[in-house]
Structure 1
Amino acid sequence: MDSQNKENEINRRRFLQNSAKFVAAGIYLGMFGMPELFGNVIIDKGTRGIPDVKLNNGLKMPLLGFGTYGLRGELCQQSVAEAIAAGYRLIDTAKVYGNEEEVGKAIKGSGIDRKQFFVTSKLWVDDAGYENAKKGFEETLRKLGLEYLDLYLIHRPRGDIKGSWKAMEEFYKAGKIKAIGISNFDPAQMADLLSYAQIKPAVNQIETHAYFQQINDYNVLKKHNVQMQAWAPFAEGRNGLFTNEVLTQIAKKYGKTTAQVSLRWHYQRGIVSIPRSSQKVHIVENLDIFDFKLDDVDLKAIEMLDLNKTQFPEWS
């Protein structure tokens, strides 16, 4: 772990406070309110009370999942296994992460029925195009050791998107993918895809956090009934997010952490988030967001943190 990540982890631990015991969302949602959703919320107490959202094709997707970007090898497999044990069922990976095999091993090793999981992977730029996309998808299935994916995304809007989408639509119709979607597409790029797509994307996974709230994208996606999903919901701690004064004060107000406040903010906006951690305490902590509700004052204060620019210029 590099020095910046170490500092982020240390700062986050400083604000880790004792919080109320985690209880099923089925008990708390009535008290603490439903999120402003793109689709319908469905309570599933079988996954530690994590609510599901209904996508535009009727598929249920957990509103909170586990991300694996940056996790490799044994650490990845162990972290995913701990996440599953803690109650996560949405597991997000990608070919370019180089960890699909480890993710698959953790899922298989859990002993939990495959049908209980929602597994996402992504088609990388090198596999763009009709024939390449078919090969790339089959390789992903093989590495994961799965017979189907719950969600498959075009990772970036590069190359032959039309050919890639055609291949994905065919796999979708064949039942090998339960839902297809996109990642890092802006509204114009999504509009171009919609001009020829036979099947509308179910999800757009984009950078979303307090410093880059993506208000325009949020409104466009909601208009088209395409579920918004946040990668880097903590901005990976960049720009001091874990020690931000506004988030820290809100966290103290509820006896929570800045990470939990961030995830609750996503949840109340109806955005699926996929926090990542290799620390068991944080993996568990990130689930504990359903027993409090941010009020209008909190939401306004977080709204003012928006810098309206990416915190990951290297991905631009």
Structure 2
Amino acid sequence: MSIPSVKLNSGLDMPVVGYGTYPLKGRRATDAILAAIGSGYRLIDTAASYDNEDAVGAAVRESGLPRAELFVTTKLRGSDQGRGSTRAGLERSLERLGLEYVDLYLIHWPLPAVGRYVESYAEMAELRREGLIRSLGVSNFLPEHLDAVVAETGIQPAVDQLQVSPSHPRPELVAAVQRTGTVVQAWSPLERNTGILDHPSVTAIAGRLGVTSAQIVLRWLLQRDVTVVPHSGSPDRQRTNADLFGFELTAGGMAAIDALDTGVPVKQDPRTWEEF
């Protein structure tokens, strides 16, 4: 299975569908990642705080694929933010991964109360010039956070990984980020424990098209130009979660999923959320 890519502002091509590794750890994580790679995934998403970078690195090595064929993302944890600490955080991630560079490095949360995300991003820019990072990115950043890092460095983040899903489609935020040229990537696109995949609006469209509810939600995001990193430990679901390019949602189908917006703000508000 071949997954299309999007061109990032760094010049790098990033698959529009990646494999999210949270919450797997250890050998179970390595085996799941190897299954995903076998199904055609080439983007593997991890983070220092997931405590599974070693398992990701093992899968990269055991896959037998050339390093250049895999796109590895990891994230700077909150406790490593700041001048000097950012470099150390990345170096520890690279050591756990067993890699010489990562394709995309994200600041996991802005933590504005801590006030170190701008200096962290500036140090990441230096690390990119040294070849340890190929693309600079952020996660859970709102437009004001993006503006702050660009004002300091002149470098627009290549990717902003955000919580975007049917319950929280966040159209205004997604559009605002996309207007800057930053690619939006949805984390937890299929939600967790909300029952969204069993909603009649989703299952009805899935039934008409002969695909799964998860495929409907992921296709809805792709048609909004939002890239995705779904997670599943099941090889069968991994395959269907990446098989999104042989069907298309109509305008009515898109509107039906849009209408699932709960109107409730996300629980983890980037202006106040603290995660270290």
TM-score (norm 2): 0.94
In the alignment, structure 1 residue 181 sits paired with structure 2 residue 134: no
Tell me the alpha carbon deviations over residues 17-70 of structure 1, each in whole angstroms, 9 at most, x when there is no partner. xxxxxxxxxxxxxxxxxxxxxxxxxxxxxxx22110001122110000000111
Unaligned runs of 5+ residues in structure 2 are: none
Corresponding residue number in structure 2 for 1:283: 238
Distance 2:178 2:244 in 1: 23
**Aligned counterpart for 2:262 among listed residues 283, 307, 310:** 307
Q: Give me the CA root mean square deviation.
A: 1.4
Contact 1:213/1:308, CA 8 A, preserved across alignment: no
Corresponding residue number in structure 2 for 1:128: 81
Corresponding residue number in structure 1 for 2:167: 211
1:314 Cα shift?
9.2
**Aligned counterpart for 2:95 among listed residues 131, 138, 142:** 142
**Aligned counterpart for 1:245 among listed residues 162, 178, 200:** 200
Distance 2:54 2:66 in 1: 18
In the alignment, structure 1 residue 80 sits paired with structure 2 residue 61: no
Corresponding residue number in structure 2 for 1:220: 176
Corresponding residue number in structure 1 for 2:157: 201
1:162 Cα shift?
2.0
Corresponding residue number in structure 1 for 2:214: 259
Distance 1:286 1:249 in 2: 18
Tell me the alpha carbon deviations over residues 159-191 of structure 1, each in whole angstroms, 9 at most, x when there is no partner. 311221121001111222110110011122222
Identity of aligned residues (%): 37
Tell me the alpha carbon deviations over residues 273-293 of structure 1, each in whole angstroms, 9 at most, x when there is no partner. 000011111111112111110
Contact 1:209/1:234, CA 8 A, preserved across alignment: yes
Contact 2:161/2:187, CA 8 A, preserved across alignment: yes
Question: What letter corresponds to residue 135 of structure 1 in structure 2?
Answer: A
Distance 1:137 1:303 in 2: 38
Number of aligned residue pairs: 268
**Aligned counterpart for 2:11 among listed residues 58, 69, 78:** 58
In the alignment, structure 1 residue 298 sits paired with structure 2 residue 221: no
Tell me the alpha carbon deviations over residues 86-123 of structure 1, each in whole angstroms, 9 at most, x when there is no partner. 11000000000000000000110000000000100000
CA distance 1:82–1:310, shift in 2 (3 Å):
farther
In the alignment, structure 1 residue 116 sits paired with structure 2 residue 55: no
Distance 2:188 2:267 in 1: 10
In the alignment, structure 1 residue 235 sits paired with structure 2 residue 191: yes
Corresponding residue number in structure 2 for 1:104: 57
3-state secondary structure, aligned to 2:11 = coil
Tell me the alpha carbon deviations over residues 133-152 of structure 1, each in whole angstroms, 9 at most, x when there is no partner. 00000000010001111000
1:311 Cα shift?
5.5
Unaligned runs of 5+ residues in structure 1 are: 1-47
Contact 1:130/1:165, CA 8 A, preserved across alignment: no
CA distance 1:70–1:314, shift in 2 (3 Å):
farther
Tell me the alpha carbon deviations over residues 208-264 of structure 1, each in whole angstroms, 9 at most, x when there is no partner. 11110111111111110000000001012x321120110000000100111010111
1:192 Cα shift?
2.0
1:194 Cα shift?
2.1
Deviates more, 1:95-104 or 1:210-219: 210-219
